[in-house]
A and B are shown apart, each in its own frame.
Chain A
Amino acid sequence: MSSHVPSRSAAPADPPIPAGGPVLELRALTRTHGSGIAEVHALRGVNLSVHAGELVAVMGPSGSGKSTLLTIAGGLDTATGGQVIIEGQDIAGLGQKGIAALRRRSVGYVFQDYNLIPALTAAENIALPRELDGVSVRKARKEARAALEEMGLLEIADRFPDEMSGGQQQRVAIARALVGDRRLVLADEPTGALDSETGEKVLALLRSRCDQGAAGVMVTHEPRYAAWADRVVFLRDGSIVDQTLTDHSDADSLLTSEAAK
């Protein structure tokens, strides 16, 4: 390719600078299924820190452990070894009730198939985790509408999931994942069932929520969506084998090597 990185108006904007400690920290995480000769190592000592304002994409072939990583980070599965630390708290010490509360308050989970409750409207779906957390119905609904308005989705506030498009459902799911004080969103193939333009809208939304200070981890096998992240982590056979850096040293070397041709 005889081109170089286009540089029309400005260099790419610097990714947000992480402030404070990581929102999510995985330390030497292992997960083993089965035992003896049937033993399968889904994760083999994964270390990963994700800061506020950062969106990390996890890529890897099927069976590389990327979904396991996400479910353990979200407290939906338990690690065999290592630690999951969310906002400074090791979730192992919290017990089932504590983890459930943490998931309501701190962690938003976005599934490939949206997982909205069919009998609730968009606004009610978003309000539900807040209501479960003891916020008054009135306040929770008000917050939900505000979240929808901010995302340009207010017109679907009173629609039920089966009255929304896939892209709208997924954007509502992201709103639900980040309503309240939750600063960590974990997304498992969030664009999996969407066409490319709608997938892009979902990514743009996830990106902007992270730009506003959330920390995000997204599992995807689509390079085009992974490219929206600040950092792309490559997982293989349960280990992180490589990751693109947050700084632009790679972009600089790309420019230099292209210029040298």
Chain B
Amino acid sequence: MRRTTYSVYILSMSIRHGLLALLERGPRYGSQLRTEFESRTGSTWPLNVGQVYTTLSRLERDGLVVQDAEDDQGHALYAITDAGHTELRSWFETPVDRSNPPRDELAIKLAMAVGAPGVDIRAVIQSQRHHTVKAMQDYTRLKAQSLSDVPANRDEVAWLLVLEQLIFQAEAEARWLDHCETRLVRLAEAAATDPEPETPTVGRAASRIARAHSRR
């Protein structure tokens, strides 16, 4: 999926606050922040060191971090400011916005597949379900490995939470696909027994889904 401007913005916002949260535990330098961010999130969203330094310089510009002294190896250390602490508290206390979610390619694809000539929508659903369930199998294998020892430290617990978020998200998608398939079968059955033509009904539904997503 191509990243939308909005999703890039969201990701950059979470890097910004993620770095502040790590800095709350004491001054750190760029590549150290990168390593710690990745071990917390199991490298699920890999960062490059350039992103880290760009984010740090913006945080510095906004007065949320300052460059501290250098450590023994000459790394420039960054420290969180009082304004940074306040910003971080407010991030933890404010719910993540779900009223304006990023565009969802799969929802758009299914909306477009409804009634599209030459497209077997059940095949579209099945190929996605295969892919989604397979991804869940991989995540679950990692999770089973991670649970085979009781998570011992902060990083392991954090990574387990991230992994389970991926599993729950994939599960929601798989369930939604099941639901779509059932719904389409019912609509097709109804259309087969109903003298009304099928296309206008399904067409209206498709336009509603498309409308709901065009707002995003």
Contacts and interface: CB of A to CB of B under 8 A. Distances in A.
A66 to B, nearest CB: 13
A152 interface: no
Interface string A205-235: 0010000000000000111101111101010
Nearest to B10: A2
B133 A226 contact: yes
A134 interface: no
B32 interface: no
Contacts of B181: 61
B34 interface: no
Nearest to A241: B126
A150 interface: no
Interface in B1-55: 1-3, 7, 11, 39, 41-46
Interface in B125-152: 126, 129-142, 144-145, 147
B42 A8 contact: yes
Interface stretch (B74-82, B164-172, B187-195): B164-172
Contacts of B140: 224, 227-228
A241 B138 CA distance: 21
A209 to B, nearest CB: 13
B163 interface: yes
B66 interface: no
B17 to A, nearest CB: 17
Contacts of A204: 144, 147
A227 to B, nearest CB: 4
Contacts of A40: none
A261 B125 CA distance: 22
A3 B137 CA distance: 16
A224 B166 contact: no
B159 A61 contact: no
A202 B144 CA distance: 13
Contacts of B174: 223
B178 interface: yes
Contacts of B171: 222-224, 227
B126 A2 contact: no
A242 B44 contact: no
B138 A2 contact: no
Interface residues of A, number: 35
B202 interface: no
B130 A244 contact: yes
Interface string A60-84: 0100000000000000000000000
B175 interface: yes
Contacts of A20: none
B138 A5 contact: yes
A6 B42 contact: yes
Interface in A233-261: 234, 241-242, 244, 248, 250-251, 254, 261
B182 interface: yes
A146 to B, nearest CB: 22
B43 A224 contact: no
A254 B142 CA distance: 15
A6 B126 contact: no
Contacts of A10: 145
Contact of A6 (B11, B44, B132, B175): B44
For the complex of A and B, list the 6 residue pairs with the smallest distance between their C-beta atoms, beginning with the closest: A227-B136, A223-B174, A6-B42, A12-B141, A8-B42, A227-B140
Interface of A: 1-10, 12-13, 59, 61, 204, 207, 221-224, 226-230, 232, 234, 241-242, 244, 248, 250-251, 254, 261
Given A12-B141, A230-B137, 7 more contacts: A6-B41, A6-B162, A13-B145, A223-B175, A241-B126, A254-B135, A261-B1
